[in-house]
Amino acid sequence: MDGALIRELAGLLRAVTGEDEAWAAAITAASRLEDDLGLESGELAAWGDAVRVRYGVDVVGYVTGLDLDQIIALTVGDVAALVPR
Amino acid sequence: MNTGSRFLFVVPPLAGHVNPAGAVARVLLARGHDVAWTGPESALRRMLGDGVTVYPTGMRPYGGQRDRGARALKSLWEGFVAPFARFTRPAVARAVAAYRPDVVAVDQHAIAGALVATANGLPWASLAPQSMELTEPLRALPRVDAWIRATLAGLWCEAGLPAHEYVDPRFSPHLVLGFTTPALTGPAPFPPHYALVGPALDHDRPAGPDFPWAALDPRHRLVLVTMGTLAEDVAREFYPRLMAALAPLGGQVQAVVTAAPHTVPDPPPNVLVVPRAPFLELLPRVGAVVCHAGLNTVSEALTYGVPLVMAPIKHDQPVTAAQVVAAGAGVRVRFGRSGPAELRAALTEVLDAPTYRAAAARVAESFASAGGAAAAATRLEHLALRA
C-alpha cells in the first residue's frame, strides 16, 4: 500500500471531520471508516467529494455498489486501492 | 346497536411506533369502533395506559442498540425486525383468531401482522411512522435493498404463504398510512393507496410527573432537547459537548433537557434536566428543538412551527434530518463529532435567522391540512367498509 497516499487520504479525512493531527496520524490503511473513524454519512459524502476533486475517483458511487457487510468493513486502504497509480 | 368495526393494531414495543398508532386508535374508539392491540404487553401498557385490550406476544431481548450507521441497519433487520416477526407470529395468529378483526393495522416493523392478515384473507393497512420505509431511500444502495427484500421474502415463505402471491409486507396493497407530508418527503409519486396524513399526535397522552414550570424564565429563549428513547446510553457522549455549547448562552437561552439526570452530569445553571417533559405543552413557547431527528420528535416540533438542530444517530434519522434541512426548517450537526462551538453556532443560527421559523411554519401548515390521526382513522374506516 502506498503510504504517501494513505497520509493524503488521512489529511482529507481530517479536513472534513475537523479532528486534530494526532487523530489523522493514527489512521492506517486498515482503519475502518465506520467503526474506527466514526465517519457519519455527511462526512463520508464530504470526503468523497474531496477525493473525487483530487484523484477523480467516485467513492460514494463505489459505496453504493457494496453490500452491508462490505460497507461495514470498508477501510481507508479500500479507497486508496481505487486511486489509479 | 353497535355498528362499529373491529381494528387490531400490531406494533413493536417502541415509543416512536406506538405513539402515532395510539393516537389513531383513540380516534377510532371515540367514533364508536372497537380496538385491540397485539405486541409485548407490559411495554404497550406503559405507553398506551392500562385501559387498552392487549393480546400479548411476549418479548425477547434484542441487541444492537449501540450500533450506528451500516452496522445499525444490519442489527435492525438481523437482530430485531426478522426475529421479532418469527417470534411473534404464532401469538399474532392467536390474537386474530380470538379478536376477529375487520381490519389489521400493521406497523412496518411488525411484519408478523402482515403475514397473519394475508394468511387469513383480512384487509390490512401499513403504518409508516418513520422515514426509511416510505420513500425507500435504500434503493440508492441496491445490494443492501436486495438483502432486506430477500429477508422479507424469506419470512413470507416461512409463514407458509405462496411465493407467487408475494407482496412486500412493509407495504400493504390496500392502504399505506404515512405520518408525514410531501413538505418533508418531497413530491415523490406515491401510489393512490398511499395516504400521507401528517403526524398523528396524541394530545391526550397520559401526563408525566409534575413539570417545574416555575423554573422557566420567560425573559429567556427556550430550547428543548431530547435525544429519543432508544439512545439514552449512547447520548451520554453528546451531552457534555452540548452543555459546553449552552453554558455561555446563559442569560439569553434556557434549555430543558429530557434525559435521565445521571446521563447529564453537571448541567450549567441555564439548563434544566428532567426525566420527562410535557413536550406538546412546552412547544408553543420554544424557540428551537435540539434532537436526534426521530420522526416523532421532528413532527411534534414542526407541528408547532419550531425549527430544529438535528444530530441524527442512526436508522432513518439521517434521512429525516436531510428532509428537514431540504425544507429549510433546521440544520444538521454531527452527533459523534460536533464540538461546543459548532453546536452553539448551529443553535444561534436557528434561533436568530427568521428563515428557519418561516420554513417550519410552512411545514406546520402542510401538517395541519393533512388531517393527522383523524384522517388516518377515516382511511381505516373506509378499508373496513370495503371488507
Chain A residue numbers with beta carbons less than 8 Å from the beta carbon of B68 are 34, 38
Evaluate if residue B387 carries a pLDDT over 80.
no
Instruction: Please give the residue of chain A at the shortest CA–CA distance from B143.
Output: A67
Indicate if ipTM > 0.90: yes
How far is B162 from chain A, CA to nearest CA, in Å? 28
Mutate to test the interface with A, among B75, B139, B143 (most CBs of A within 10 A): B143
CB-CB neighbours of A1 under 10 Å: 11
Distances (CA, A) of B309 to B182, B289, B333: 21, 6, 7
Instruction: Please give the residue of chain A at the shortest CA–CA distance from B137.
Output: A64
Which pLDDT does position B1 carry in this prediction? 42
Q: Do A43 and B144 touch (CB under 8 A)?
A: no
How far is B286 from chain A, CA to nearest CA, in Å? 28
B360: Cβ–Cβ under 8 A, 6 or more apart, which residues? B301, B302, B305, B306, B307, B308, B329, B330
Q: Do A64 and B71 touch (CB under 8 A)?
A: no
Return the minimum-mean-pLDDT range out of A77-81, B106-110, B133-137. B133-137
Reading the block at residue B375, the C-alpha cell is: 384522517
For residues B68-83, give the mean pLDDT. Answer: 94
Instruction: Please give the residue of chain B at the shortest CA–CA distance from A63.
Output: B141
Q: Which residues pair with B34 in a beta bridge?
A: B6
pLDDT digits (tens, 9 = 90+) for B311-333: 999 999 999 999 999 999 999 99
Q: Do A40 and B318 touch (CB under 8 A)?
A: yes
Evaluate if residue B3 carries a pLDDT over 80.
no
Distances (CA, A) of B301 to B49, B324, B375: 24, 11, 20
| CA neighbor of B110 nearest in space, from B136, B137, B130 | B130
B139 near A CB under 8 A? no
Size of interface A-B (CB pairs under 8 A): 53
Task: Name the percent of chain B lying above pLDDT 90.
Answer: 86
Return the minimum-mean-pLDDT range out of A4-18, B194-208, B235-249, B338-352. B194-208
Cβ-contact B9, B25 below 8 angstroms: yes
- pTM of the entire structure? 0.94
